[in-house]
Amino acid sequence: MSGVRCINDHVIKSICFLTAAGMSILLTACGKKPQMAFEDLPEGSVYGVTEIAGGRVEPFSQDLCIVEGKDQSLMEDGKDKDYASAGLFDVNGCDTRFSDNVFEQLYPASMTKVMTAIIAMENGSEEDIVTCSENVKITESGAQLCGFEPGDSMNLDQALHALLMYSGNDAAVAIAEHFAVSEEAFADMMNAEAKRLGATHTHFVNPHGLHNEEHYTTAYDMYLMFNKAITYEWFQKIINEKEYTFNYRTAAGDYKEMTFKSTNLFLKGDVLPPGGVNVIGGKTGTTMAAGNNLVMLSEDETGRPYISIVMRARERGILYSHMNQLLDKIDE
């Protein structure tokens, strides 16, 4: 919110009391893990109380979609639920078009990498050189890896393509260690940014989303984080690419070519969106514990942007079926 300033302490205390009370009810009702106190929110948080010229108070939510009313459902009557959470958000209209269980804390899997990209784009430039350490040799079964070796190097733009398009967990480690002394220190940066964005039901312990019981978020928090990520043209460009080829430098000083294809089935052409909807791109996330997840940016025929999220779908086909149900609601 450019051009805003804090109002005087007396007014802040009065308004913050009411705001904090409302937040307390929301967090108690919707979160199963301990949440931060209102007074602990960092300066500049979206929960800050501000005023525009002329003394008009603007709440934190003035530019955000707020969830109100009862949960909706993507399931037909009588059918067991095969996903955990879903939401559709009109970005420009600040309108929640659909919400179901969007405050439940769930495992994000590789959707985590949206926040990793935010930290990288806030603190780096495309030509920063990222060098891999021994820690890129992830041995966890099933972990998605680009195959980078210790000593390999690439620029940050290339590393972010590996992170967002191919969902490389080794790329996530290399990026984290480029900006912090360790993955743990980078996770601290991620958590600080999540708080600043108002994602109070989120806690990260790593930059990639490999399973950890203390690594969780919600569909609404994913909306908040993805809403920040799409303010970067750099981010939108990467998630919109169907294929990407680059050359990176190996530890031996040679150059090696690598090609990635998007993991998003809409971009691959394997799944078609409803008529009148253009899928820009997004971030997938899949683990045994997290199920199948996708957060995505799309546009209607006028170019109006929407963020859609489905979390913990039972199968990949179910994930994309429910995502199309959300996209169908854009024209309703």
In the three-class reduction of DSSP (H, G, I as helix; E, B as strand; rest coil), residue 59 is classed as coil
Task: Given the residues 85, 99, 113, 262, select the one marked as catalytic.
Answer: 113
CA distance 287 to 321: 19
Q: How far apart are CA 326 and CA 310, in angstroms?
A: 9
298-to-163, 280, 329 alpha-carbon distances in Å: 20, 5, 12
Q: Which residues are bridge partners to 256 per DSSP?
A: 248
**Measured distance CA(299)–CA(194) in Å, rounded:** 25
CB neighbour list of residue 8: distance below 8 Å, 6 or more residues apart:
none
Give the list of residues 6+ apart from residue 266 with CB closer than 8 angstroms, or none: 272, 273, 279, 296, 320
Helices (H), 90-246: 113-123, 156-164, 169-179, 183-196, 219-229, 233-239
**Residues 187, 208: Cα–Cα separation, whole Å:** 10
CA dist 162 and 260 (Å) reads 7
Which pLDDT tens digits describe the chain residue by residue (332 residues)?
A: 333 223 233 333 333 333 433 443 343 333 344 444 444 544 444 554 444 455 554 555 678 999 988 999 999 998 999 999 999 999 999 999 999 999 999 999 999 999 999 999 999 999 999 999 999 999 998 899 999 999 999 999 999 999 999 999 999 999 999 999 999 999 999 999 999 999 999 999 999 999 999 999 999 999 999 999 999 999 999 999 999 999 999 999 999 999 999 999 999 999 999 999 999 999 999 999 999 999 999 999 999 999 999 999 999 999 999 999 999 999 98
SS3 state of residue 206: coil
DSSP state at residue 244: E
110 in active site: yes
Catalytic residue (one of 85, 99, 167, 308) = 167
Active site residue 167: yes
Sheet with 243-249: list strands edge to edge.
129-131, 153-155, 243-249, 255-261
Q: Is 113 a catalytic residue?
A: yes
Catalytic-labelled residue, pool 110, 262, 298, 308: 110
Residue 282 tokens read as 């997004």
3-state secondary structure of 160: helix
Q: What is the DSSP string of 249-281?
A: E-TTS-EEEEEEE-S-HHHHTSSPPPTT-EEEE
75 burial via Cβ count (<10 Å: 0-12, 13-18, 19+): middle
